[in-house]
Structure formats: structure tokens, C-alpha cells
Chains A and B, each alone.
Chain A
Amino acid sequence: GQNIDQPTEMTATEGAIVQINCTYQTSGFNGLFWYQQHAGEAPTFLSYNVLDGLEEKGRFSSFLSRSKGYSYLLLKELQMKDSASYLCAVKNYGQNFVFGPGTRLSVLP
């Protein structure tokens, strides 16, 4: 089977750092993706990892360990506009995307 797990909800304070974890078991691996989704809107692409290690993009970083089936998204200097759902997705061997349930992040002043 295919399964992706993420925490359901997280809360953090403006200006802080938050780490959103994702664990996966999929039929093959062709990359791990993070998306941001504001309520009622389409998901927007944040980052992509295909090799182990850290990818940094401004305030956002994503880490991957393929041997552990584990990734995290790190958000620094949190802003109110970062309040959204964060979706972890894996592209499997068949090139199909498998999405996790999403983590709803609330940023408090």
C-alpha cells in the first residue's frame, strides 16, 4: 500500500521557526514535493527533493532522507500569511502523485 503521514495541525508564533514532518511508504520514489494551500485555493508548489539532504529557498527549506522515508519542511521567520495547510506529496515509480492529508498551520501574533 501507499501511505503518507503528517501531523494534522500545528500552531506557532509570528517570527518563530516551525518544522512540519512527513513520513512516507510508497511504491517507488521519484521525488518528494511540498505544497502550500490557503483555504479554498489551489495548492502552490514550494519545494522538491529527489536526493537526500537539504534544499533551501528563502524562508523555506526542505529535507529528505530516502532510507528513512522521511522529510520535513522548515519555515523560518514565520509571518501571519504563512497560516495555511502544507501538503507533502510523493511521486511514485508509476509517476503518479500520492498526497498526504496535509498539516494545517496556524501562526499566532
Chain B
Amino acid sequence: EAQVTQNPRYLITVTGKKLTVTCSQNMNHEYMSWYRQDPGLGLRQIYYSMNVEVTDKGDVPEGYKVSRKEKRNFPLILESPSPNQTSLYFCASSTIRDRLPEAFFGQGTRLTVV
């Protein structure tokens, strides 16, 4: 089954403790992206990647890091989480070719930083 898998689904952590949210897709997609969603603000892009070793900042990259060492994986790293990073996070992937061009989303990760 074609899917984007995020882990964990829920995470409560403390300020300053490094964490990684994993994202993996099994559709051989070139494009992957991370978003955060806060009440009333819609999806805001954090980082995106067009292929292995190619990453670009989105609209809200501060406090986040990403890497794209393999095509299927695109982890989101919070080196020193702060309470303002409490949010619902989504990973998405898509092909850059015409067939099935839509973005496929992971189930989401609800992060709470206390």
C-alpha cells in the first residue's frame, strides 16, 4: 500500500531535549516536505526537499533541521525544542512527474513541548 509513515504519532517532551520525528514514503517520490499546523494558521511549510541531498527552507524553518540522505526518508530534527514548537506536524511526499502529482500526507505527529 502506498503510504507516508510518520513516527511518533504523539510526543510530549521537555524544553531543550533534542528529538527527531521520522518520515518515510514507499512511493519512490522525489519531493518531500514538512509542515506545521497551528489553530487558525493553516499549513505552514518548514523545509522541503526535491531529491536526495537537496533541501530548501520553507516559510518557518527557524529551530528545525532536516536531512535527505536516502530518497525514502526525510527526518525532522528539533535540536533544542521550545514550547512555541508545540504543534501538529505533517510530512508529505509527491512525484515531480505528471502521474499522480498530488501530495500524499502522513498521519501527523502531535508534539507538545513543556
Contacts and interface: CB of A to CB of B under 8 A. Distances in A.
Interface of A: 30-31, 33, 40-45, 48, 50, 87, 89, 91, 94-102
* Chain B interface helix/strand/loop/mixed: strand
Contacts of B41: 101
Q: How large is the interface on B (under 10, 10 to 19, 20 to 34, 35 or more residues)?
A: 20 to 34
Given A41-B108, A42-B106, A43-B105, A96 B48 contact: yes
15 contacts: A31-B101, A41-B108, A42-B106, A45-B103, A45-B104, A94-B50, A96-B33, A96-B48, A97-B94, A98-B45, A99-B35, A99-B42, A99-B43, A99-B45, A101-B42
* Chain A interface helix/strand/loop/mixed: loop
Interface of B: 31, 33, 35, 41-43, 45, 48, 50, 56, 88, 90, 92, 94, 96, 101-108, 110
A31 B100 CA distance: 11
Nearest to A97: B103
Nearest to B104: A45
A48 B101 contact: yes
Contacts of A94: 50
A97 B47 CA distance: 11
A33 B103 contact: yes
3 closest A-B pairs by beta carbon, nearest first, are: A101-B42, A42-B105, A95-B96
A91 B42 contact: no
A42 B104 CA distance: 9
Contacts of A33: 102-103
B5 to A, nearest CB: 11
